[in-house]
Structure formats: structure tokens, C-alpha cells
Amino acid sequence: MQLLGEMESTCTSALGLYGFITAAFGAAVAIHFQKSEARFNLNASTSVSLLLLFFGESLFYFYLPHYLGIVLFGLCCFPVYRSIRSNAILCPEGKAVLITGCDTGFGLVMAKRLHSLGFHVFAMVLYEKGDGAQELKLVCSDRLTVIQMDITNYAMIQEVQKKVAKQLGNKGLFALVNNAGIIEYFGDAEIIPIDAYKRCIEVNFLGTVEVTKRFLPLIRRAKGRIVNISSPSGEVPFGRMSAYGASKAALEFFSDILRQEMKAWGVQIAIIQPGATKTGQVGNVNFWEQQHKKLKDNLSPELLQDYGEEYIDEIRQKILTVGPNFRQHVGPVVETIITALLAQNPKPRYTTEFVIDVLKMLYYFLPSSVADTILNEVFLAPRFPPKGAREGYASQ
């Protein structure tokens, strides 16, 4: 009887300690959200973490020595608390965000979506009288300001910065979304004209850097964040995307370094790598027909002979066939951008499709010879090698 009483006393003490730790965990979460402007976000990740924690509590209590179970349960509470904090979301009301490239695609949809959430949106468009700008102006709201800005025109960027700063007053800019970007050509690195490399670097990298530098003082004032729209091709070398991929790789590297440097200022940087999505330029058949014609017209006779018209025409056909089959809805990408904007602690890098993560793993962990073969065949791969490679010669 005495032994039974001791066992009951030990179980009661252990149960009390489990209850105390659970209460302390709940109090810590409540205190954090009371002191922070962030809101509790009961998403899938948070729900799973909480379910596993409390399921684990039962297992620890019934199947482990009491004090060992209590210690393990206490240790498990810490990563779940961190997960809840990292998944917390900020309130968008009253926050100002500037988005580049709002003429079409992600930028256009994003500007309207962020406005609907309560953000004050500064939507940058390349063409003030274009369809995208007119569609945004129809919103007729003092929280949505449409401004023309060419991100390669540094004088224009400076003027826009002054205009935005004047509207914001002392409030600062909560977020900058560097969305503007271009794709000039698809094709083998040797046949893509040097002007295409220059243009991609000018828009996708240097233009983004200039916009970022101009608006950073306003972002630092608000302890805000920057979201850069990059591409999987900026991290993984896909065949026939050298010009575009090189510009996005430069953007990725710049973003990673900037993230390190801005921590002291309380500014957070996130990179978004969208999957294959049919935006305005990708789905524009006339644009790719014109680009293909310019590519062939400017190719030297030697390269045209070595690669063969059949090979170059097949790349064009692949673009016209594959492009329209890309994902039609930009919604998943826009929602990922919103997550990066509103997460209390955004991730350094977001991908929008599982296949992107798979390709990254293949690139980083497979031998180069295997990874190169896979990545060269993933996108726009012609059925046969260039004419000269098949016939075993190269131009002299």
C-alpha cells in the first residue's frame, strides 16, 4: 500500500510538472504576441507542430520515466515556440510597399492584392498609358498610387524616390518588391548576342540594385524588408538560359550579401524563385517570333552553319510550344510574396513549386556529369545536337 501511494504521489507530481510546463509554454506565446505587432498564424506548419507537441506529451508521460519525459517535453517546447514565432504574421494596415514592374504578370496582380489587404501600394509601371497602368488606376484609391518608372533610368528613379519620400513623410517604406525583369532570348550561350547579356544585366541586376540603393534609407527608417523576385535559373544552371540565368545569379548573390549587411539595421531580405508561370512576356507569341528572327539575322554565317537552321528553329518551336503550357495562374507566386512580406521572420529564400527543390537537390548532390545531363534536358532541349556537333566538325 505504501509503495502504491508513493507511485500515485510521483505520478501526480509528474502530471503537475507537465501541466506547469504546458502553462508556461502558453504564457510565453501569449506574452510574445501581446508585446509584438505580429498576429498568431494558425497555418498548417503551426498546427502540425502543436499537435506533435501535445501528442508527444502524452507519449512521454505514459512511456518514459517521469523526469526523463518531463525534460524531453520541456526541450521540445522550445523549437515549437520558435516555429510559432517564425510563422507569426504582421498586420498590413498602414504599411507602405513599393512594387516595380506592375504593367503585367506578378506585379499587376500583386499591386491589387496588397491593396485589398490594407497596404498603401506604390505601383511602378514602365508605360503610364499602358493597359496595366490603366487597370490599376481604375481602383480609384488614395492607397494605390501608380507611378511611371524605368528602372534603368537612374534620374527617373531618383525623382520617384523623392516623390514617394514626400508622401510617406517620416513614416518610412515598409517594403520594396523588386519584381521588374526581362527575358531577351533563349538559346545556346554561343549564339545569344552580347547585347542580350547586357540588357538582362542592366534590367534584372543593375536596375534592381539602383532601385534598392535609392530606397534603402526609407526602408531602414521603417525597419522594413526587401523582396527580390529571382528565378530558379539564378541558382541552378539550366541549358539555353545563360543570359537570363547569369543576371538572376548576380541578383541572388547581391541579395544574400545585402541580407547579412542589413541585419544590423533590422531590415530583412527575402528571395522568391517562381516556377514556370505564363506571364505577359512568356506567353507573347509575337515577341518570341520577332526575337527568333533577330537572332537568326544577326548570327554569323559560320555559327549558322555550325549550329544549323534546323537546330535554331527547333528552339523557337519549343518556346512556342512550352510557353503556353506554363502555369496560367500567378496566384501561388503572389501568395508566396505576401508570405515573405508579412511573416515576422521571413525565410531567406522561397520556392513556389516542389519540382524546383528537387532540381536543386539533383544539382547539389549528384555528380556533375549526371546533373549537367539532367539540367541540359529539362528546358527547351532540342532532339538532336547542333549540326556541326553531329557531323564532327567546327568552323575554323
Same-domain pairing of 34 and 170? no
Same-domain pairing of 68 and 109? no
Domain boundary among 41, 57, 86: 86
Same-domain pairing of 45 and 120? no
What's the CATH code of the domain at 323?
Answer: 3.40.50.720
Same-domain pairing of 278 and 184? yes
Residue 392 lies inside a defined structural domain of this protein = no
CB-based contact 252:234 (threshold 8 Å): yes
Beta strands 268-273 and 225-229, pairing class = parallel
Residue 387 lies inside a defined structural domain of this protein = no
Position 8 scores a pLDDT of: 53
554561343: which residue's cell?
190
The CB density around residue 130, as the number of other CB atoms within 10 Å, is 15
Residue 388 lies inside a defined structural domain of this protein = no
Same-domain pairing of 41 and 150? no
CA-to-CA separations, 384 to 28, 295, 301, 388, in angstroms, rounded? 62, 20, 20, 11
CB-based contact 267:226 (threshold 8 Å): yes
pLDDT single digits (tens) 198-246: 999 999 999 999 999 999 999 999 999 999 999 999 999 998 899 999 9
Rounded to whole angstroms, how far apart are CA atoms 295 and 239? 17
Same-domain pairing of 65 and 171? no
Cell numbers given for 132: 496595366
Facing residues of 270 across strands? Answer: 227
Number of compact structural domains in the chain: 2
Which residue range(s) make up the domain with 40?
A: 2-86
Same-domain pairing of 203 and 79? no
Same-domain pairing of 166 and 241? yes
Position 324 scores a pLDDT of: 62
Position 328 scores a pLDDT of: 61
Residue 389 lies inside a defined structural domain of this protein = no
Please identify every stretch of the chain with a pLDDT value under 70, giving residue numbers as ranges. Answer: 1-12, 35-37, 42, 277-284, 323-328, 384, 390, 392-396
Among residues 18, 185, 197, 244, the one annotated as catalytic is 244
Rounded to whole angstroms, how far apart are CA atoms 300 and 319? 22
Position 2 scores a pLDDT of: 43
Residue 121 lies inside a defined structural domain of this protein = yes
Same-domain pairing of 52 and 124? no
Domain boundary among 22, 54, 86: 86
The CB density around residue 96, as the number of other CB atoms within 10 Å, is 22
Same-domain pairing of 233 and 123? yes
Burial of 364 (0-12, 13-18, 19+ CB in 10 A): exposed
CB-based contact 99:123 (threshold 8 Å): yes
Residue 343 lies inside a defined structural domain of this protein = yes
Same-domain pairing of 210 and 72? no
| 244 in catalytic set | yes
Question: Strands across the sheet with 96-99, in order?
Answer: 144-148, 120-125, 96-99, 175-178, 225-229, 268-273, 349-351
Residue 260 lies inside a defined structural domain of this protein = yes
Residue 279 lies inside a defined structural domain of this protein = yes
Domain boundary among 52, 86, 120: 86
Same-domain pairing of 266 and 311? yes
